[in-house]
């Protein structure tokens, strides 16, 4: 792991740095490159603009590790309202949520009850709930939440991280449940015993997992396979792996982040692939933004440049 990435990921956990950064206007300006605004309405307006380009969305309100049951209830209520707003506007947008935003650190049963409420509302509205994957210490609990939600309703999927050494086994165990899987590389700081430190190993692991998702058993189980990456070489390899199995571009679904590789998003759509854009909103953006900087330390230059923009 590069030094810059380590420093940025360590910084993402600092409450002091968060307080400093969120006060600075130039940082807020730099953040706007990756998020259209702090309100649900900003995200819905962005989803509408994306839809005009053939790009449906996934919305996520930034937040993690809430410290009280009341906060977790408020997150649940916010998302219940978001499903209603999406339906009312006939927007093309799913929802993605972090377990620790629903109170996983506080009480697992109550967290699960909140998630089930979201899955039920999504079901009523013909929508879908994605469960984000956070640090490795949360993987078992997150997969358990996914299994419980999936046992009740079909409209649920979970993120799996290719950098974790355990993920091939987790994927094999998850496939028979038919839950959706959004495969990503992984965004947190993890020790080498837990996650591959080298990018080449992560990329190799991603492709192998993608092939498992394209194989007959996953397809027969009804798994909705999503590849969450901006890595063009990797997405080309995934499409080639799909073609070798007689699958077409429309059988591949890619999810990318708002503001990253916008041209590639449009190019994939033109090729016939299914693409969704994950739009983040909310005021708790600091740790999330630091992870975006860590993914591409050159982004730090944008922060510096925004210091000099008026
Ligand atoms: P990689 O990092 O190799 O980047 C490939 C290329 O994409 C770069 O060369 C650059 O051009 C561009 N790029 C990537 N990141 C960029 C950035 N921040 N700014 C500018 N350009 C950038 N992680 C996690 O641990 N849990 C989760 O739940 C999720 N959820 C999630 C959903 C979706 C839809 C996506 C796309 C990603 C996630 N992630 C995630 C984040 C993921 O783990 C990973 O950190 C990023 O997607 C970056 O990895 P790439 O696959 O894009 O490859």
Q: Which of 18, 182, 224, 276 is catalytic?
A: 182
Averaged pLDDT for residues 68-95 = 97
> What pLDDT digit, counting tens, does each position of 105-150 carry?
999 999 999 999 999 999 999 999 999 999 999 999 999 999 999 9
Q: Catalytic site residue 182?
A: yes
CA 191 to ligand 1 center in whole angstroms: 19
Query: Which residue owns the Cα nearest ligand 1 atom 35?
Result: 228
Q: Is the CB of 28 under 6 A from ligand 1?
A: no
What does the pLDDT look like over 170-202, one tens digit per residue?
A: 999 999 999 999 999 999 999 999 999 999 999
| 36-284: CATH number | 3.20.20.220
Per-residue pLDDT of 225-251, as tens digits, reads 999 999 999 999 999 999 999 999 888
For the chain, domain boundaries? 36-284
Q: Is 232 a catalytic residue?
A: no
pLDDT value of residue 51: 95
189 lines ligand 1 (CB under 6 A): no
Assign 3-class secondary structure to the chain. CCHHHHHHHHHCCCHHHHHHHHHCHHHHHHHCCCCCCCCHHHHHHHHHHHHHCCCCEEEEECCCCCCCHHHHHHHHHHHHHHHHHHHHCCCCEEEEECHHHHCCCCCHHHHHHHHHHHHHHHHHCCCCEEECCCCHHHHHHHHHHHHHHHHHCCCEEEEEECCECCHHHHHHHHHHHCCEEEEECCCCCCCCCCECCCHHHHHHHHHHHHHHHHCHHHHHCCCCEEEECCCHHHHHHHHHHHHHCCCCHHHCEEEEECCCCHHHHHHHHHHCCEEEEEEEECCCCHHHHHHHHHHCHHHHHHHHHHHHCC
């Amino acid at each position: 792991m590069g030094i810059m990435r380590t420093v940025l990921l360590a910084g993402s956990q600092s409450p002091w740095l968060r307080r400093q950064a969120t006060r600075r206007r130039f940082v807020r300006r730099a953040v706007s490159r990756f998020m259209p605004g702090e309100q649900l309405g900003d995200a819905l307006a962005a989803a509408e603009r994306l839809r005009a380009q053939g790009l449906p969305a996934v919305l996520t309100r930034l937040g993690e590790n809430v410290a009280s049951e009341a906060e977790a209830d408020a997150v649940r209520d916010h998302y219940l309202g978001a499903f209603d707003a999406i339906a009312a506007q006939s927007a093309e947008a799913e929802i993605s949520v972090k377990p620790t935003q629903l109170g996983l650190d506080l009480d697992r049963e109550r967290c699960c009850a909140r998630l089930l409420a979201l899955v039920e509302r999504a079901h009523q509205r013909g929508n879908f709930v994605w469960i984000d994957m956070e640090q490795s210490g949360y993987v078992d609990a997150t997969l358990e939440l996914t299994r419980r939600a999936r046992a009740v309703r079909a409209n649920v999927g979970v993120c799996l991280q290719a950098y974790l050494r355990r993920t091939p086994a987790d994927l094999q165990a998850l496939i028979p449940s038919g839950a959706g899987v959004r495969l990503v590389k992984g965004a947190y700081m993890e020790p080498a015993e837990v996650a591959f430190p080298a990018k080449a190993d992560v990329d190799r692991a991603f492709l192998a997992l993608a092939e498992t998702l394209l194989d007959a058993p996953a397809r027969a189980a009804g798994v909705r396979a999503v590849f969450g990456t901006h890595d063009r070489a990797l997405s080309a390899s995934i499409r080639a792996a799909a073609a070798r199995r007689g699958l077409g571009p429309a059988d591949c679904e890619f999810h990318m982040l708002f503001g990253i590789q916008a041209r590639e998003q449009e190019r994939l759509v033109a090729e016939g692939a299914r693409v969704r854009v994950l739009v983040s909103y909310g005021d708790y953006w600091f740790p999330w933004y630091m992870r975006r900087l860590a993914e591409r330390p050159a982004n730090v230059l944008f922060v510096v440049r925004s210091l000099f923009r008026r």
